[in-house]
Amino acid sequence: MRKTNRYARRADRAVVGAALAFLLGAAACRLEPKVADRSGDGVEPGVAEQGAAVPTPEFTLGAENTHARWSATIPPVLTVPSGAVVEVRTKEASDGQVVESTEAAELADLDFGLIHPLTGPVYVEGAQPGDVLAVTIHEIEVEGWGWATIIPGFGFLADEFTEPWIRGFEMAPGATEVAFNERITIPLAPFAGVMGVAPATDSMLVTIPPRANGGNMDNRHMTAGTTVYFPVQVEGALFSVGDTHAAQGDGEVSGTAIEAPMRIVYQVEVVENSRGIVEPQYETDEYYAVTGFAPTIDDAARKATRYMIDYLAAEHGLTREEAYVLCSLAGDLKISETVDVPHMLVSMHMPKSIFRGR
């Protein structure tokens, strides 16, 4: 099945014509391209086709190019045109504080000021406040040893699990699963726990909670083959990624996933924010999805439901009453994370297969 979002190519760095979108019936998403891609590079921007060849990266960033705060004042380490394909390396979430020899008692000494080293920021030419940055994840692979912990005072059941605990995980290149113990095997499904654009503030915000700029969403569905839409808040967008996870369940209830360094290939494209989205949304071949953050799961779920109603009304011509009922009949609410205080994140997926004419 082909994706509904397709953006026109660009012959050079100037916009050479009106952007074209291949709208497949009523399922098309109307986030229009602001700056088209370059011609002749073999890359079609927009949502990645599942099973498609990974495009050749045009730019690279090593894991030494990191920061651990969100701020418009953090200078970019790379500037790319809209449509660029970028390869980055990420560190694990502790920035080297947790290693194979780390013991549980040492977790109390973790410096949370170093948590979430993010590779970036990447300045995307043409991105302005009010636009959307479409980030397509083409490839993501584990590159080393990983860990999971219980850190006292952190986690959904922090009042019940008060003692530190740690387990390491050996993961060879190309591995598809990992042993939890001698009786349990976990499939690997790598993704970035933190992705986002810079917020419009000079303050140096901690990376722990999700916000309107994205951030620590810990959404395990934002993996290879997904395009994530971030509302741009500052010139150049200033995109960063990190906190990469080899495996995680919805909710990340203990406070960590399998935290590990990774290699990611992604593509960035500036598109018009024609629907006025205010928090990240994403899609794959199978579904369109919205996110909502709030201090409680209830409030986050209400926001996600309202955002999906907005999408269905704008893109599929439903009345708000019809959209509300369709959310009840076909929408799938997912608790993405419960631990990134002061915010929790809830997402809603809507399957594309229910719409005729695709």
**Two tokens, residue 299:** 């409030």
HSE value, Cβ hemisphere, 13 Å, CA-based, for 182: 0
Domain presence at residue 3: no
The H or E element that residue 303 is part of is helix 297-316
The pTM for the full model equals 0.87
Domain presence at residue 255: yes
CA 318 vs CA 111, 162, 276, 322, 333: distances in Å: 50, 49, 18, 6, 20
Cα-Cα-Cα-Cα torsion 30, 233, 39, 3, nearest 10 degrees, comes to -30
3 state DSSP class of 326: helix
Residue 78 has φ and ψ, to the nearest 5°, of -155, 140
Dist. CA 142–CA 89, nearest whole Å: 10
CA angle 246, 248, 252 (to 5 degrees): 135
CATH at 46: 2.60.120.580
Domain presence at residue 1: no
Q: Tell me whether the omega of the peptide bond preceding residue 210 falls within 30 degrees of 0, making it cis.
A: no
Output Rg (C-alpha) for the chain, integer angstroms: 20
Nearest Cα to Cα of residue 227 among 179, 278, 265, 281: 281
**Residue 138: domain span:** 9-354
Domain presence at residue 155: yes
- DSSP state letter for 33: B
pLDDT at 51: 59
Report whether 264 contacts 139 (CB < 8 A): yes
Domain presence at residue 69: yes
Dist. CA 98–CA 94, nearest whole Å: 6
Domain presence at residue 2: no
Domain presence at residue 186: yes
Dist. CA 249–CA 82, nearest whole Å: 33
Domains: count for the chain: 1
Residues of the chain with pLDDT under 50: 1-30, 35-45
- The predicted-structure confidence for 103-140, as pLDDT tens digits, reads as follows 999 999 999 999 999 999 999 999 999 999 999 999 99
Q: Which distant-in-sequence residues (6+ apart) come within 8 Å of 95 by Cβ?
A: 66, 68, 114, 115, 117
pLDDT at 267: 98
Within 10 angstroms of residue 170's Cβ, the number of other Cβ atoms is 11
Report whether 202 contacts 210 (CB < 8 A): no
Dist. CA 75–CA 94, nearest whole Å: 22
HSE value, Cβ hemisphere, 13 Å, CA-based, for 70: 27
Dist. CA 117–CA 26, nearest whole Å: 41
Domain presence at residue 178: yes
Report whether 146 contacts 171 (CB < 8 A): yes
**Two tokens, residue 191:** 């993704």
pLDDT at 173: 80
Within 10 angstroms of residue 318's Cβ, the number of other Cβ atoms is 17
**Two tokens, residue 49:** 């086709």
